[in-house]
Amino acid sequence: MEAIEDIVIVGGGLAGLATALGLHRKGIKCLILESSPDLRTSGFGLTMWTNAWRAMDALGIGDKLREHHVLVVAKYLGLKKLSFSGRLATRGLTEYETEHGFQPGFFQIIGGGHRAGVITCSDKSVYWFLTWITSEENKNVDQSVEKMKDYVIGNLKHANKSEETLELIDRSEMGNVISTPLKYRSPFSLMFAKIAEDNVCVAGDALHATTPEIGQGGCMALEDSVVLARCLSEAIIGSKRGCDEEYERIQGALEKYAKERRWRSIKVITLSYIVGFIQQSANPFVSFLRERLLARVIANVYINFSNYDCGKL
């Protein structure tokens, strides 16, 4: 006998699992479809701004995490393919057998066509990255891990970074270094795109894939999950199940979700792209504005976007 599920979530990523948790908190069952045999653990980390913590608080997991201190549906809806930003990113994780001695914190270097940064993850691990604009000079950099590491070290030497910083990148294990093109969902296409149709919608990167400059990709996925779970629970709880009226209520709930998330997504994608362009530009005029006038403006962008509140379940 064929099983019928009330809610099906395609993808066990951050947004999918968080939405399932939100629905579970509201007493609503759902089915998660995931092609991987295990939970996805790719990548090195994600930025958690205030808005993401608010979303986790709404899901009931914020306090637990604080204790430790630390694209099928899109195609169905007709969303256009992601756009290439013209930049690539090399990311790595350096792990130490004993304490590395770096002070907790984050520093970055911007300008000259590059953006680099180092973040301490724990007393024995450090995350680092370099993003760069593609050109004839560096077009083959991502062909091997050694080339990527040499390219990163060369750029940090040019920026007069300490030998200690260069050494931490050089000692990264081969399996802990990756290079990927930076892609994003075109904000112009998202203005009129179908985010939801019938009983199907998109969330997370399927909705608002963005470049990493303002660190809002994962945060936005958690926001999506709270808004989606809230809209669906309002349509389902206390209503008659399995009737045409319920289907219409679910359609309305997904339309409400799409309306709430569309412009938030467009703003974040657009601002992230602009900040990335400003930070990495080698143009003398843009460099002058960046260093003399725009530093405070960009800092305010980080703060303003992280202060967004997605609301309660």
pLDDT in tens, 49-75: 889 989 998 998 887 777 565 467 788
| 27-35: average pLDDT | 89
Both tokens of 75, joined, read 């195609």
Highest mean pLDDT among 50-59, 149-158, 212-221, 258-267: 258-267
C-alpha–C-alpha distance, residues 236 and 153, integer Å: 55
Handedness of CA 298, 301, 303, 306 (dihedral sign): negative
DSSP per-residue string spanning 178-202:
EEEEEEE--HHHHHHS-SEETTEE-
> Is the whole-model pTM more than 0.85?
no
C-alpha–C-alpha distance, residues 306 and 254, integer Å: 25
Q: For residue range 131-157, what is the model confidence (pLDDT) as tens digits?
A: 888 877 777 777 777 788 888 888 777
| 92-117: average pLDDT | 82
User: CB–CB of 46/217 below 8 Å?
Assistant: yes
Q: For residue range 189-208, what is the model confidence (pLDDT) as tens digits?
A: 999 999 999 999 999 999 99
Element (H, E) at 238: none
Residue with tokens 């790595």: 92
Q: From the CB of residue 257, how many other CB atoms can be counted at a distance below 10 Å?
A: 22
Radius of gyration of the chain (CA): 21
Provide, rounded to the nearest whole percent, the portion of the chain with pLDDT above 90. 35
Residue with tokens 């359609």: 251
Is the pLDDT assigned to residue 283 strictly greater than 90?
no
Q: What domains appear along the chain, each with residue ranges and CATH number? A: 8-81+185-306 (3.50.50.60), 85-182 (3.30.9.30)
